[in-house]
Amino acid sequence: MAMQRRHILAIDLGTTALKVAIVTTSGEVVAHETDGYPLHVLPGGGAEQDPADWWAAIERAVTRLLGRGEVKPESIVAVGATAHWSGTVPVDAAGEPLRRAIIWMDTRGVPYVREITGGPVRISGYGLDKLWHWVRKTAGIPAHSGKDSVAHILWLKHEEPETYRSAYKLMEPKDFLNLRLTGRFAASHDSITLHWVTDNRDLARVRYDAALLKLAGLEREKLPDLRSSVDVLGPLRPEIAAAWELPDGTPVVVGSPDLHTAAVGSGATRDYQPHIYVGTSSWVTCHVPFKRTDLVHNMACLPSAIPGRYFVANEQETAGACLQFLRDNLLFYPDELGPGPSPDNAFELFDRVAATAPAGSGGVIFTPWLVGERTPVEDPFVRGGFHNLSLGTRRPHVLRAVLEGVAYNARWLLEAVESFVRRRLDPIRIIGGGAKSDLWCQIFADVLGRTIEQVRDPVLAGVRGAAILAAVGIGATTFDAVPDQVAIARTYSPDPSHRELYAELFREFVRLYRNNRGSYARLNRQAAPLSGVTPGGLPLTAGGDRPRAGRAIGAR
């Protein structure tokens, strides 16, 4: 073993699909596989997935991956997992799910969150006394969007009381995967944050707080014990190790949720070292040496995947999902006018066509708020649109406008983040599926006015981050080494000839929101947040057959 490379088996459970990978202890992805599972969108804002589907997909993908023979099984020295954040899996004492998982997109808990966060004197709908208690200890407060874990649990408590009573523990998706891998119940200091019941003021002593539990209406005994993200939770279950032909006693490290893990996988682990993620959603974030809250822009410093460190938490709801919407709901919609199924390389074609349009898309502006927004404004009613269309507008203008619109929103968010951390953030690493597009990377550089560093294999940042956390957990690497270990594929510098154009269009982008937010509220106040939405071309099943986060947080 001393003469050969050591590897981590990493699992990244996303909203649309999962990835499993073999990764060296220094973060180099050797091989990976993907698999998928359905998302169940239900009436009234429900969004669920079946944990059995997750596990079946993991087993299929791991079997294919290890069956390729890329590395010797004995070289795998640990397992690390990450998953989409802000979900709830109620399980019995044996660790078996009692129902489908409620995931981050679910908004059915809205009335119960509003009830626990209200008060006689309110700011932005939050009771002043509640704000003081929650923000002081956690840096945030349960979101009125109903997308936090606490909202899911309150919905279960009121709408499915038998499930709630029968639940031995209520687990985050990442923590449920660890339970399946080891048989042990635990949550990490970061995964538990969106329950809003832990005192995060001293990162060396993150703990459940009795007063916050009472405010939230949650019971401590139904929540798992807390561990650090780099703790070894336990050995891989013997039956799983045997099925996957891994060494007996292979350690499983606690790990972190997807947003935290991606920050590590981007290589941006130093204080004030930023990264942008562009996938179905998007975020701009960095690690910081302080705890602070910005209620106006819905941002806060929360416990990060790196023990003893905070990170700035924020998110915009739709980024790559806007391209998926364009593909599936407009350009290749299956009706009499449709051209048939979309080609497998649709996004590559979008890139090539968009590149033929001029910078600024002939003045066409796309607003990417297809399911409301979290940061830098929290507004569940705002919606997307194409603005300033004319008879001269062509498809290349529309396609490029979508790419630019997501970048305008990122600039809006970046301005808030830079104000929050009180410094300019440059350069910025970029990861996620959107980072594969050279055109989009250049648009981000031009719109943000920042150097953009495209991380190598940007779609694998999640599994890379999960592997790095596991490697740190077993002492095989350090967080200080990570920035130099994660390679940059290409660097994009802002084009100075586009600076004034994009500055003007960005100003109009923000005005479009401010001038129209009243209309959005009147048009959408009665609509369920997920009503009629087919997010990101996901495999959906319609309801009845039994998707960031707190106020001042915006986490996904």
- pLDDT band of 2, cuts 50, 70, 90: very low
Query: What is the spatial distance between Cα 383 and Cα 372, in angstroms, rounded to a whole number?
Result: 6
What per-residue confidence (pLDDT) applies to 223?
Answer: 98
User: Which amino acid, residue 342?
Assistant: S
What per-residue confidence (pLDDT) applies to 5?
Answer: 87
pLDDT value at 533 more than 60? no
Query: For residue 302, what are the CA distances in angstroms to 132, 186, 286, 316, 550?
Result: 17, 19, 11, 17, 11
Burial of residue 349, with CB atoms counted within 10 A of its CB: 0-12 exposed, 13-18 middle, 19 or more buried: middle
What per-residue confidence (pLDDT) applies to 527?
Answer: 61
Per-residue pLDDT of 18-38, as tens digits, reads 999 999 999 999 999 999 999
Element containing residue 32 per DSSP (H, E): strand 29-36
Instruction: Identify the sign of the CA torsion 190, 194, 198, 199.
Output: positive
Among 233-242, 319-328, 358-367, 547-556, the range scoring the smallest mean pLDDT is 547-556
**C-alpha atoms less than 13 angstroms from C-alpha of 317 in its C-beta half-sphere:** 25
What per-residue confidence (pLDDT) applies to 389?
Answer: 98
Residue keyed to tokens 């619109």: 405
Query: What is the spatial distance between Cα 269 and Cα 50, in angstroms, rounded to a whole number?
Result: 33
Contact in structure between 77 and 7 (CB atoms under 8 Å): yes
pLDDT value at 1 more than 60? no
475: left (phi over 0), alpha (psi -120 to 50) or beta: left
Instruction: Identify the sign of the CA torsion 363, 364, 368, 372.
Output: positive
Q: Name 53's Cβ contacts closer than 8 Å, sequence gap at least 6.
A: 37, 38
Q: Is the peptide bond before 343 cis (omega within 30 degrees of 0)?
A: no
- pLDDT band of 538, cuts 50, 70, 90: very low
Can you tell me the mean pLDDT for 222-250?
98
Residue keyed to tokens 């070289």: 75
Contact in structure between 147 and 548 (CB atoms under 8 Å): yes
- 3-state DSSP call for residue 83? strand
Contact in structure between 401 and 394 (CB atoms under 8 Å): no
DSSP code per residue over 455-522: ESSGGGHHHHHHHHHHHHHTTS--GGGHHHHS-EEEEE---GGGHHHHHHHHHHHHHHHHHHHHHHHH
DSSP code per residue over 158-214: HH-HHHHHH-SEEE-HHHHHHHHHHS---EETTTTGGG--EE-SSGGG-EE-HHHHH
- pLDDT band of 546, cuts 50, 70, 90: very low
Query: What is the spatial distance between Cα 545 and Cα 260, in angstroms, rounded to a whole number?
Result: 33
**Nearest Cα to Cα of residue 338 among 326, 346, 330:** 330
Per cent of the chain over pLDDT 70 is 94
Can you tell me the mean pLDDT for 266-291?
95
Can you tell me the mean pLDDT for 125-149?
92
In the DSSP assignment, the letter for residue 162 is H
Residues in the chain: 556
Neighbours of 382 (CB within 10 A): 23
- pLDDT band of 531, cuts 50, 70, 90: very low
Per-residue pLDDT of 203-218, as tens digits, reads 999 999 999 999 999 9
- pLDDT band of 313, cuts 50, 70, 90: confident
Can you tell me the mean pLDDT for 373-400?
93
Contact in structure between 280 and 537 (CB atoms under 8 Å): no
Contact in structure between 108 and 146 (CB atoms under 8 Å): yes
**Nearest Cα to Cα of residue 212 among 221, 201, 220, 203:** 220
In the DSSP assignment, the letter for residue 221 is G
DSSP code per residue over 335-373: STT--SSPPTTHHHHHHHHHTTSPTTGGG-EEE--BTBB
What per-residue confidence (pLDDT) applies to 189?
Answer: 97
Q: Which two tokens stand for residue 382?
A: 């705002």
Query: What is the spatial distance between Cα 193 and Cα 553, in angstroms, rounded to a whole number?
Result: 10
**Nearest Cα to Cα of residue 468 among 177, 264, 232:** 264
Multiple choice CATH, 1-287+301-307+314-531+543-556, 3.40.30.10, 3.30.420.40, 3.40.50.970, 3.50.50.60: 3.30.420.40
- 3-state DSSP call for residue 281? coil
Neighbours of 378 (CB within 10 A): 23
**Across the chain, what does the average pLDDT equal?**
92
What per-residue confidence (pLDDT) applies to 295?
Answer: 82
pLDDT value at 532 more than 80? no
What per-residue confidence (pLDDT) applies to 553?
Answer: 35
pLDDT value at 547 more than 80? no
Per-residue pLDDT of 488-518, as tens digits, reads 999 999 999 999 999 999 999 999 999 999 9
Query: What is the spatial distance between Cα 192 and Cα 171, in angstroms, rounded to a whole number?
Result: 9
Contact in structure between 223 and 170 (CB atoms under 8 Å): yes
Query: What is the spatial distance between Cα 263 and Cα 277, in angstroms, rounded to a whole number?
Result: 9
What per-residue confidence (pLDDT) applies to 4?
Answer: 66
Residue keyed to tokens 């979101």: 143
Can you tell me the mean pLDDT for 444-460?
97
Can you tell me the mean pLDDT for 334-338?
87
Q: Is the peptide bond before 376 cis (omega within 30 degrees of 0)?
A: yes
- pLDDT band of 536, cuts 50, 70, 90: very low
What per-residue confidence (pLDDT) applies to 542?
Answer: 28
* Domain limits, the chain: 1-287+301-307+314-531+543-556
What per-residue confidence (pLDDT) applies to 341?
Answer: 86
Can you tell me the mean pLDDT for 100-124?
93
Neighbours of 199 (CB within 10 A): 16
Among 4-18, 220-234, 328-342, the range scoring the smallest mean pLDDT is 328-342
Secondary structure of 286-324 in the HEC alphabet? CEECCCCEECCCCEEEEECCCCCCEEEECCECCCHHHHH
Better-scored residue on pLDDT, 512 or 338: 512
Contact in structure between 461 and 455 (CB atoms under 8 Å): yes
Per cent of the chain over pLDDT 90 is 84
What per-residue confidence (pLDDT) applies to 124?
Answer: 78
Can you tell me the mean pLDDT for 372-385?
88
What per-residue confidence (pLDDT) applies to 380?
Answer: 81
Query: What is the spatial distance between Cα 495 and Cα 443, in angstroms, rounded to a whole number?
Result: 9
